[in-house]
Structure 1
């Protein structure tokens, strides 16, 4: 039984839900399963495993993999593409944290 307050359809909205098999993920990205395995070896994405041990990917992981594929298609070595995507992700997170801190420090607007 699902936890109270959740609906089975909530999984459809969850970017982190591991909904895609390796074959389906590779097909969606227009790449091979070997490409996805290489991304895992380079620690860009770590797929979850089904009870049977098969790799399962989330929508978030597929977006990350798609970005790496863009870079590889532009001639970047796959190892370098993985590092670039990791650094882009870290920069985005740092910018988000900065923005939150700025918002906390800024004075509240005067009320009318």
Structure 2
């Protein structure tokens, strides 16, 4: 068996690896390729391209597309669904940053302001 560092890295656990073709992604989500293209046009997801120019999707992108499909299936316009998902993502990121800042402060309480 070759040493661990000589073996090729297989991105089995990489959520960002573009492993799924357009057809497979649409099949997995129970939607159409046109729906996935529309998400790209709305800039919700940007699939990578294979050497032949075909769209390839990652697991992360499929989770986002599944959330968009859920909203659209419940009557939300695709443009609004994409905006909702973007805002949800921004809120999650802001909350993560706030949690990090609180952890740096130690007790989570705002630090008193000092005058100079």
Q: Same fold (TM over 0.5)?
A: yes
Partner of 1:8: 9
**Structure 1 unpaired stretches of 5+:** 108-112
**d(CA) in 2 for partners of 1:86 and 1:98?**
18
Q: What residue is the counterpart of 1:35 in the other structure?
A: 35
Does 1:20 find its partner at 2:15? Answer: no
Q: Please report the RMSD computed on the Cα atoms of aligned residues, expressed in angstroms.
A: 1.5
The CA deviation at 1:43 is 0.4
- Within the alignment, does 1:89 sit opposite 2:75 as a pair? no
> Which residue number corresponds to residue 110 of structure 1?
none
For the residue of structure 2 that corresponds to 1:56, the secondary structure is strand
Q: Deviations over 1:55-86 (max 9, x none)?
A: 00000000000000000000000010000001
Aligned to 2:48: 48
Q: Which runs of structure 1 show a deviation greater than 6 angstroms over 4 or more consecutive aligned residues?
A: none
Secondary structure, counterpart of 1:44 in structure 2: coil
Unaligned runs of 5+ in 2: 108-116
The TM-score with structure 1 as length reference comes to 0.87
Question: Highest Rg: 1 or 2?
Answer: 2
Q: TM-score, normalised by structure 2?
A: 0.84
SS at 1:98 equivalent: helix
Give the aligned length. Answer: 103
